[in-house]
Amino acid sequence: MSLERIVVFLLAENCLLREALVRVLRNKEDIIIADAIPFSTSALEKVSVANPDVVLLDSPSIALSGPRLVSRMRHSRANPKSIMVGMEEDEATFLQAVGEGVVGYVLKDASATEIVRVIRAVAAGEAICPSQFSLSLFRCAARDVCFTFKPPQKTKFGLSRREQQLVGLIRLGLSNKEIGNRLNLSEQTVKNHIHRILRKVGASDRLEIVEQCQSESPALGLVI
């Protein structure tokens, strides 16, 4: 039986960290390194071409702000899972990372073994964070999330009920295939819906759909 391998892309400013991760991951039979580069204006394109399962990033100021690479990767065709590595123990940065779509968060004192474990867990569909930040997530959810699912309301873009569903799932960073599986639709049908949404909201990509619909009714996207 062939070993299913995890394709990892390293996008790290810290040269020592980047080289150390390459040495560690290169020795793992179930991991393939697609590339290991510092941030650049062409980083998003290179990630899309490599089509990795997981991207490791080490710079919140670049990955989460400015070009917002994590958010743009999450809404790209590749849609890799993002892990922040070598992080300070800072709650605000952690919550920002989660909001942008990071599903793995590793502190700077983590061992190589721990980083490998997080990569494998995230690739398998889990979300991993330091235990001390778990309470932050619960507090954030209790403060900001409405658990009462309301009926869909008319939106300023005139989105149908189905299109509202898709916006909510796009906001979660799901791929067309994952959306199709969730709603029992073919991947082509999902593509057709997204093209209509792009036209209605005047957006050029999936991230812009989310940004344009951000101020809509809280019910938008919660109709599951």
How many CB atoms within 10 Å of residue 124? 10
Question: How far from chain centre, in Å, is Cα 14?
Answer: 22
Q: Specify the 3-state DSSP secondary structure of 173.
A: coil
Q: Is residue 190 part of a domain?
A: yes
Regarding predicted confidence, which is higher, 63 or 192? Answer: 192
CA proximity to 20, closest of 118, 115, 102, 103? 115
Residue ending a domain, choose from 91, 119, 141: 141
Query: What pTM does this model have?
Result: 0.66
The per-residue pLDDT for range 57-87, each reduced to its tens digit, is 999 988 888 778 888 888 887 789 999 999 9
44: in domain: yes
**What pLDDT score was predicted for residue 148?**
44
Co-location of 30 and 113 in the same domain: yes
**Structural domain of residue 216, as residue ranges?**
146-224
CA angle 190, 196, 202 (to 5 degrees): 130
* Claim to verify: residue 51 and residue 133 sit in the same structural domain: yes
Residue 1 placed within a domain: no
User: For 37-59, what is the mean pLDDT?
Assistant: 92
Whether residue 199 lies inside any domain: the answer is yes
Q: What is the pLDDT of residue 223?
A: 38
Residues 159 and 193 in one domain: yes
17 and 127 part of one domain: yes
In this prediction, residue 153 carries a pLDDT of 52
pLDDT for 68: 81
Pair (117, 207) in one structural domain = no
Residues in the chain: 224
Q: Are residues 84 and 48 in contact, defined by beta-carbon separation less than 8 angstroms?
A: no
| Residue whose pair of structure tokens reads 């702000």 in the numeric block | 65
Q: Are residues 216 and 182 in the same domain?
A: yes
Co-location of 131 and 157 in the same domain: no
> Is 163 found in the same domain as 80?
no
Counting residues of the chain whose pLDDT is more than 90, the rounded percentage is 47
Question: Does residue 209 sit within a domain?
Answer: yes
Position 16 in a domain: yes
- Domain final residue, candidates 86, 121, 141: 141
Q: Are 127 and 196 contained in the same domain? A: no
Domain count, the chain: 2
- Between 143 and 16, name the one with better pLDDT: 16
CATH of the domain at 195: 1.10.10.10
Do 151 and 137 lie in one domain? The reply is no
Residues 132, 109: Cα–Cα separation, whole Å? 14
pLDDT for residue 220 is more than 60 = no
Question: Which of 111, 79, 65 minimizes the C-alpha distance to 206?
Answer: 79
CATH code where residue 26 lies: 3.40.50.2300
Question: Quick one: 82 and 174 in the same domain?
Answer: no
Domain boundary among 141, 171, 206: 141
103 within a domain of the structure (yes/no): yes
Per the DSSP assignment, residues forming a β-bridge with 118 are: none
Q: Is residue 50 part of a domain?
A: yes
The reported pLDDT for the residue numbered 191 is 92
For 196, the token pair is 């209509």
Q: What is the mean pLDDT of the chain?
A: 85
- Percent of the chain scoring above 70 in pLDDT: 88
Could you tell me if 122 and 81 are in contact, meaning their C-beta atoms sit under 8 angstroms apart?
Answer: yes
Query: Are both 112 and 155 inside the same structural domain?
Result: no
Span 153-178, pLDDT tens digits: 556 788 888 888 898 888 888 888 88
pLDDT of residue 146: 44
Q: Which residues contact residue 117 at a Cβ distance below 8 angstroms, ignoring those fewer than 6 apart?
A: none
